[in-house]
């Protein structure tokens, strides 16, 4: 994707901080667009005494645990070894990235690079106060509901505003400004005679996955609970409660590849009956989380006991857990790659 001016400024500051901290010469260049292929933001060239090393670059202005998995997934789709550039990496995040062998630079001079025979690890440089970026309206809570509905049921892009509003559970007026934003961002093509079509769907999915855990998910969390039996969920007929499995349990059922440690439940009604039937009690440190559904049943997936794979994918990446990120990759390849393929 084309870098914005703020991202170019961030990248230049990070490269300069890296030069200042390590003494290593570095410069970056823009990349020519590759149609239909994952596109890095830039290419970084590092000049060592024994030669030059190049990295594809993913620029993430803000890096949080909830957005780490999504950033890693984008980087692993690039054809070359990728490096993460962000404003600030705190010491805990730096250690996590090092353990996962994810190269990074930030604008404070913190860095990790393991490119034999060169090893660089700098952390602990103090941060500054950064202005908070306001998300575009398509990626605030109401906008995310609309985008989710459009990605799950792509024929909705061409539907009347009222139909989109009913399916996304938003006010009618919300649909107009979200669609205007999607046109401006290059994700919605207007073809005349009021015809519309989603385009650049992979980038739209990535934007939704990055924004969901920060913008919408906290608003729909109903509570965290503990269960008396670690395997309680194996015997629960969740559909009887108007509920769905999400995250790790849904991923285990989709792939057979994950042993769930956290139970995530999305529920349409108040959870009282569900809590009583499964003897769940309120516990802020419990391993059961219950969230309110935010979509119409028209967006349900074919398996009525689990949420749509897009939501499973987003929730797994938001944990920042390497085992969940690995499983999320399988779900993307098996369930979502076709969803974002351009027609």
- 161 with 250, same domain: the answer is no
- 162 with 249, same domain: the answer is no
Alpha-carbon distance of 264 to 306, in angstroms, equals 10
- 164 with 225, same domain: the answer is no
In a domain, 131, yes or no: no
In a domain, 341, yes or no: no
Helix (H, G, I), strand (E, B) or coil at 292: strand
Q: Are residues 171 and 161 in contact, defined by beta-carbon separation less than 8 angstroms? A: no
What stretches in the chain show pLDDT beneath 50?
Answer: none
- 288 with 331, same domain: the answer is yes
pLDDT value, residue 38: 65
Q: Which of 98, 122, 146 is at the close of a domain?
A: 122
pLDDT value, residue 50: 76
pLDDT value, residue 311: 96
- 101 with 20, same domain: the answer is yes
- 206 with 225, same domain: the answer is no
Residue 196: CATH number of its domain:
1.10.10.10
pLDDT value, residue 287: 92
- 148 with 175, same domain: the answer is yes
In a domain, 127, yes or no: no
pLDDT value, residue 301: 80
Q: Which of 163, 188, 212 is at the close of a domain?
A: 212
Q: Which of 167, 185, 212 is at the close of a domain?
A: 212
Domain residues for the domain of 306 are 216-336
Query: DSSP secondary structure string, 141-208?
Result: HHHHHHHHHHHHSGGGGGS-HHHHHHHHT--HHHHHHHHHHHHHTTSEEEEETTEEEE-SHHHHHHHH
- 222 with 206, same domain: the answer is no
In a domain, 128, yes or no: no
Q: Are residues 44 and 19 in contact, defined by beta-carbon separation less than 8 angstroms? A: no
In a domain, 325, yes or no: yes
pLDDT value, residue 149: 94
Q: What's the domain count of the chain? A: 3
pLDDT value, residue 266: 96
Q: Are strands 195-198 and 188-192 parallel, antiparallel or unpaired?
A: antiparallel
- State the greatest distance between any 2 C-alpha atoms of the chain, in Å, as a whole number: 67
pLDDT value, residue 317: 93
- 170 with 115, same domain: the answer is no
Specify the residue for token string 């010491």: 91
pLDDT value, residue 228: 86
Query: DSSP secondary structure string, 214-252?
Result: HHTHHHHEEEEEE-SSTTGGGG--GGGGTEEEEHHHHHH
In a domain, 225, yes or no: yes
pLDDT value, residue 85: 92
């Amino acid at each position: 994707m084309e870098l914005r001016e703020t991202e170019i400024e961030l990248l230049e500051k990070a490269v300069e901080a890296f030069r200042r901290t390590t003494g290593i010469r570095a410069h970056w260049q823009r990349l020519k667009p590759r149609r239909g292929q994952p596109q890095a933001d830039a290419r970084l060239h590092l000049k060592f005494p024994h030669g030059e090393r190049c990295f594809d670059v993913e620029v993430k202005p803000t890096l949080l645990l909830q957005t780490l998995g999504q950033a890693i997934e984008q980087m692993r789709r690039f054809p070359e070894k990728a490096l993460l550039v962000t404003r600030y990496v705190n010491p805990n995040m730096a250690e996590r990235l090092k353990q996962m062998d994810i190269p990074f630079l930030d604008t404070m001079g913190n860095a990790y690079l393991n490119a034999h025979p060169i090893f660089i690890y700098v952390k602990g440089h103090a941060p500054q106060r950064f202005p908070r970026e306001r998300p575009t309206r398509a990626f605030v809570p109401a906008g995310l509901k609309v985008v989710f509905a459009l990605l799950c049921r792509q024929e909705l892009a061409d539907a009347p505003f009222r139909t989109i509003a009913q399916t996304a559970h938003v006010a009618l007026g919300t649909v107009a400004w979200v669609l205007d934003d999607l046109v401006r961002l290059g994700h919605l093509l207007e073809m005349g005679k009021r015809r519309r079509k989603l385009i650049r769907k992979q980038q739209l999915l990535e934007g939704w996955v990055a924004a969901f855990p920060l913008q919408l998910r906290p608003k729909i969390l109903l509570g965290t609970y503990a269960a008396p039996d670690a395997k309680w969920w194996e015997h629960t007929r969740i559909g009887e409660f108007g509920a769905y499995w999400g995250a790790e349990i849904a991923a285990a059922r989709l792939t057979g590849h994950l042993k769930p440690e956290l139970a995530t439940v999305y529920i349409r009604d108040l959870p009282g009956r569900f809590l009583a039937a499964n003897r769940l009690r309120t516990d802020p440190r419990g391993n059961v989380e219950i969230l309110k559904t935010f979509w119409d049943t028209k967006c349900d997936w074919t398996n009525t006991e689990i949420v749509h794979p897009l939501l499973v994918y987003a929730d797994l990446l938001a944990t920042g857990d390497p085992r969940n990120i690995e499983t999320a990759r399988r779900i993307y390849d098996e369930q979502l790659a076709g969803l974002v393929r351009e027609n």
